Amino acid sequence: MNVDQNTLEQKPVFKTTSWFVSRHNNKKRTWKGLKQIISSEKALPWPDDAVHYSSINAPPSFTPPEKFSDLSGIPAPYTDPQSRLRYANKEEYATLIDLPMDITAGYLALRGATSIVG
């Protein structure tokens, strides 16, 4: 196998001293945040088929969404069948069954649920 002597003597770019010196002459390096990167990408004229950071869509998640208690905000494994409010333990359920319907409707509106099934 014939290998040219010049290719053996060439160092990779990251090992040359000029690259190292030019990197360390910049005393203050500013980093861009995610919002700055996205806004600078949106400002540039992109072709329709170009792939950039804001054009990538994530696939849907296969894990079920986590459900939280409407009263306390901790993970809630239970749902009241009458009011459709979520609760985490029996103390919250005792509080939940004593709530008036207007407050129950308010909790459901905060969560984005549409109606009470009774």
73: in domain? no
Give the pTM: 0.48
15: in domain? no
107: in domain? yes
**Digit-coded pLDDT (tens) for 14-52:** 565 665 555 555 566 678 888 888 888 888 888 877 777
30: in domain? no
55: in domain? no
**Digit-coded pLDDT (tens) for 62-90:** 999 899 999 999 999 999 999 899 999 99
84: in domain? yes
User: Domain tally for the chain?
Assistant: 1
- By the 8 A CB rule, do 70 and 87 touch? yes
| Cα separation values, 84 from 36, 91, 92, 106, 116, Å | 42, 17, 14, 12, 7
117: in domain? no
- By the 8 A CB rule, do 49 and 68 touch? no
What's residue 85's pLDDT? 92
Structural domain boundaries enclosing 85: 78-111
